Chain A
Amino acid sequence: MAAAWLVHGFLLERMSRDFVESRLKDEVAFLEHQIRQSGGEIDALLTENYFHDDFYHSFAIQSPTQSIVFPHTLAALLSPLFQSEQQGAIRVRGASASNAPSDLLAFRKSFLVNNTRLVVIVSEDMAALQASQAEFHAWTAIVSILLILLLVGVIWLGITLSMKPIVSLQASLKKLQDGEISRISVHAPEEFRPLVKQLNQLLDFLDRRLERSRDALANLSHSVKTPIAAVRQILDDTSRPLGDDLRREMGSRLGDIDKQLEAEMRRSRFAGPQVGKSAYPVKQARELLWLLGRLYPEKSFELSTQLVEERRWPIEEQDLSEIIGNLLDNAGKWSSTCVELSLSEANEHMIIVVGDDGPGVEQDTVGELGKRGLRLDEQTPGHGLGLAIVCDIVDRYSGQTNFSHSHLGGLKVDVSFLRPN
């Protein structure tokens, strides 16, 4: 600001000086012209009214015979300039003559007319000019400051208005922190709606997770503590012989604990749909196919897909492993020679299909596959826990699991997820 102000002052000064200088030069030229026309007779000029009426600059003319200074008050200031050798513009400052301006700009020119040397000086009082210049300069400053204030005001107003939703969001967050509200209201402007939605989803997710882990712990402690108490009781009773029946009983109790633990651990290990989590289905499928190929070396595990290796699916990595791994493991147990895994995408759906060439499942029991609580493997080992786990995860992603007959002869499991927008 200060720099702009100084530059403005400097430019203003230079401009007015240049302007005055060029005018003085014109007038010197005019006087010279007049003098030349009158053949060097200065007195003739002075008699003309012109100078008194129209010539409003002070001037001085010197010939070898006489010198004229108009008006006379400036004689003390201008006379010394006759002796000066300098041609052109001369600044006269700090002269202390009474009734005379202290700051003058003069233009001096000497020339020959009929072999006599004449000197003409025209001058203007710069002080008066500078006063008005200063006034102009000051006004510029005042107007600029006013404009700046106005601009700041407008910017402040703009920022305040546009920050208003953030302030309300901030207030909501504060309320949320204090527990006054449980969700942020969705009356946010367009730009913040996804953020608010995301936050609310996160809160939902945390709530669900808390609820789930509480349920899991409650289930677990209920189903684990009792068998532990029973086994302990038997072990504490030193008088009771540890017969085969008792051993078997204790073994089955420990088995129950393990089953419960396993089920709950699996359940809490599933991530479910989460923002920012994705997996490479083809890469993972290849690893799992290879793994099962090693575990069942006499069977062939094949992949059929059009997806590229770099394709990502918005499913958490371990969840996807669990789905594909369990489907393949289940098919591997049942197949006689060959299991086929196919990964595809159609109409915004991500589709996993696993088929085997085993005996398959009877049409009337197909509907009961994968249902929690119903363990088909109690009658037929194989299609059981693994499929229940798959159904559980798929449910969490709001996907669908379908069981049907494979063209290979055995069971075919279709899993499909809708790709979230």
Chain B
Amino acid sequence: MRLLLVEDDRLLAEGLASQLEKAGFSVDTARTVREATLLGQQEDYRVGILDLGLPDGNGLDVLRKWRTNKASFPVLILTARGDWQDKVSGLKAGADDYLAKPFQTEELIARLNAIVRRSEGRVQSSVKAGRFELDENRQYLKMEDGTEHSLTGTEFRLLRCLMSHPHHVFSKEQLMEQLYNLNENPSDNIIEAYIGRLRKLVGVNTITTRRGQGYLFDDTV
């Protein structure tokens, strides 16, 4: 399994590379932003490890370049800071997981295997309806003007359901199936609350209420 390791600390990179090779990965090492960007785009890796603090730039920029160039292998980022904002921006840039330094090699390998497994059979897929595009892998709603909105699990599932069949009326019961077991007996109000929140994102007229029947997604608005 080919792995790209981007880490500027020589000692750590060497140690890590030998441990990973032992675990069955074939490791290429890059030390700079330039090197990493090139390798990531030219070679076909199965998984990547990316350190955020590189000598000639930020690791997140490398990740963004990979993602815009359709290099979609799963990436685990290594960070020394580990505050929540850092994690959010790392995953927003396209990472799949993060690990704070220092870490145990066993944990790193377990996480790598997990993201590889998760990415298997994953294809770049998105649902488009009207002005909106729903990124299925990253649970993101992309607007016409390029802004992105993060969605929670249920919001994403409801929107995917509505957007996959525009102009089809979905009853509350059908939509209720998209909910996980939030409550033992979820009430209709919950669907209304979620629809209300989705309307804030996509606009009031985009999701129309059919009285007594349900809701539909109008992609012409």
Interface residues of A (CB under 8 A from B): 254, 258, 269, 286-291, 293-295, 297, 299-304, 309, 317-318, 321-322, 324-325, 337-338, 340, 357, 407-408
Contact = CB atoms under 8 A, between A and B. Distances in A.
Contacts, number: 68
Interface stretch (B61-69, B85-93, B204-212): B85-93
A324 B139 CA distance: 20
Given A290-B139, A294-B91, A340-B182, A302 B84 contact: no
Nearest to B118: A297
Contact of B152 (A286, A295, A357): A286
Given A291-B91, A317-B85, A338-B180, 9 more contacts: A258-B102, A287-B88, A288-B88, A294-B138, A300-B180, A302-B154, A302-B182, A321-B85, A408-B182
B203 interface: no
B151 interface: yes
Given A300-B153, A300-B154, A291 B88 contact: yes
A269 B81 CA distance: 11
Interface residues of B, number: 23
11 contacts: A258-B102, A290-B88, A290-B152, A291-B87, A291-B91, A295-B97, A300-B153, A318-B85, A321-B83, A324-B84, A408-B181
Contacts of B154: 300, 302
B10 interface: no
B117 to A, nearest CB: 11
Interface string B140-166: 000000000011111000000000000
A317 B200 CA distance: 24
B220 interface: no
Contacts of A300: 152-154, 180
A382 to B, nearest CB: 15
Contacts of B153: 293, 299-302
A293 B152 contact: yes
B37 to A, nearest CB: 23
B113 to A, nearest CB: 15
Nearest to B156: A293
Nearest to B100: A262
B100 to A, nearest CB: 8
A281 to B, nearest CB: 13
A294 B139 contact: yes
Residue from A286, A289, A294, A357 whose CB has the most chain B CB atoms within 10 Å: A294
Contact of A318 (B83, B102, B151, B152): B83
Given A286-B150, A303-B152, A322 B84 contact: yes
B193 interface: yes
Contact of A301 (B88, B91, B152, B183): B152
Nearest to A258: B102
B181 A357 contact: yes
Nearest to A255: B102
B96 interface: yes
Contact of A290 (B118, B151, B181): B151
Nearest to A339: B153
Most buried by A among B151, B181, B183: B181
Contacts of A301: 152-153
Contacts of B91: 290-291, 294-295
